[in-house]
Structure 1
Amino acid sequence: MKRILFVCHGNICRSPMAEFVMKDLVMKAGREADFYIESAATSTEEIGNPVYPPARRKLAEHGIGCAGKTARQMTRADYDRFDLIVGMDSWNLRNMHRICGGDAEGKIHLLLDFTRRPGDVADPWYTDDFEATWRDVLEGCTAILKLMD
C-alpha cells in the first residue's frame, strides 16, 4: 500500500483539495486498496478547522466531498508513516524539512514537480483563485497516480 501525505500551510485549502482529489482519482481507477491518503498543515493556525468554504465548494463543483475533514498539523512521526510527502510550495517544503528533521529517505516533494510545470501551487487563501488551484492540484495528483502505475 502506498501512503501519501499532502501538506500545505494551514490544511484548509490546498492540501485537503489534493487529499480528496487524489482519493477521487484512486477510487475512479479502482485502486482504493492500494493507497492511504491524508493531508496536514505545517502550522498550528487552523488546527481543528474544517476545509475552507471556497475550497469545499470547488471540490463539490466536481462531485467531490470532504465532509468531516479538519485541519491537523504534520508531525515528525508522519515521516515514518508515509511513503510520499507532498508539499504545495517551497515555503511548505522548508517547514516540512524542519518538522521532519530533514529528508534522508527522499520522501518530500513539491506537487507540481511531478508535472511538466514544476513550481509552487499558489495559495488561494491569498489569490482567491480556487479554479487555478483546482487545475494545479488535479494535474499534480493525476501525474502522481500515473507514476505509481
Structure 2
Amino acid sequence: MIRVLFVCLGNICRSPMAEAVLRSKVAKAGLDDQIEIDSAGTGDWHVGEPPHEGTAEILSKQNISTEGMKARQVKEADLLHYHYVVAMDAGNLGELHEMAGVKPTTSLSRLMDYVSESEIEDVPDPYFDGNFKEVYEMVEVGCERLLEHIRNEEGI
C-alpha cells in the first residue's frame, strides 16, 4: 500500500481538499486498493473539526465527498508511516523537516513541486482570503500531477 499524507496549517482547508481530490482521482483510476490518502495539520487549533465550509462547498460542487473527514495534527510517526508527505507551502514543509530531524523519513515535498510549469510554489491559505476556487484549481492540477508521479515511481 502506498501512503500519501497532505499537510497544511490547521487541516481544515487545503490539506483536506487535497485529500478529497486525490481520493476521488485514485478511485476513478481504480487504485483505491493500492493508495491510502490522509491529511493533517501542523497546528492543533482545529483538531476534530470537519473541513472548512468553503472547502466542503467547493468540493460538493465537484461531487467530491468530505464525509467522515476530521482535522488532526501531524505526528512524528506519520513521517515514518507515509511514503509521500506533501505540504501545501514552504512554512509547513519547514515544520515537517524540523519534525523529521536527522531520522530517515519519507519523501517530503510541496504539492506545487509536481506542477513543473507553475511559477507559484505555495498553495495559498483560503482561510484568510476566502479564495477557495483558486485553491481548488491549484489542488486539482497538483493532485493530478502527484498521481502521475506516484504511478510512474511505483509502477502502478
Deviation string, structure 1 residues 85-133 (Cα, Å, up to 9, x no partner): 0000001111112223257445110000000215000100112110110
Aligned to 1:60: 60
Who is 1:21 aligned against?
21
Moved over 6 A (4+): none
1:57-97 Cα offsets, whole Å, 9 max, x none, are 00000000101211100000001110000000001111112
| SS at structure 2 position matched to 1:32 | coil
Query: SS of the residue aligned with 2:37?
Result: strand
**Conservation of the 8 A alpha-carbon contact between 1:110 and 1:120:** yes
Unpaired segments of 5 or more residues in structure 1? Answer: none
Aligned position for 1:131: 133
What's the TM-score, normalizing by structure 2? 0.91
The 3-state SS of whatever aligns with 1:135 is helix
Distance 2:67 2:102 in 1: 33
**How far does residue 148 in structure 1 lie from its aligned partner after superposition?**
2.0
Query: Within 1, Cα distance between the matches of 2:102 and 2:111?
Result: 18
One-letter amino acid of the structure 2 residue matched with residue 28 of structure 1? K
What's the counterpart of residue 92 of structure 1?
92
Q: Relative to structure 1, is the Cα distance of residues 102 and 114 closer, same or farther in structure 2, using a 3 angstrom cutoff?
A: farther
Offset from partner CA, 1:30-63 (integer Å, 9 cap, x none): 1111101000000011111110011100000000
RMSD (Å), alpha carbons: 1.3
Aligned residue pair count: 149
- Counterpart Cα distance in 2 of 1:12 and 1:98: 22
CA distance in 2, matches of 1:97, 1:40: 15
Q: Give 3-state SS (helix, strand or coil) of 1:148's partner.
A: helix
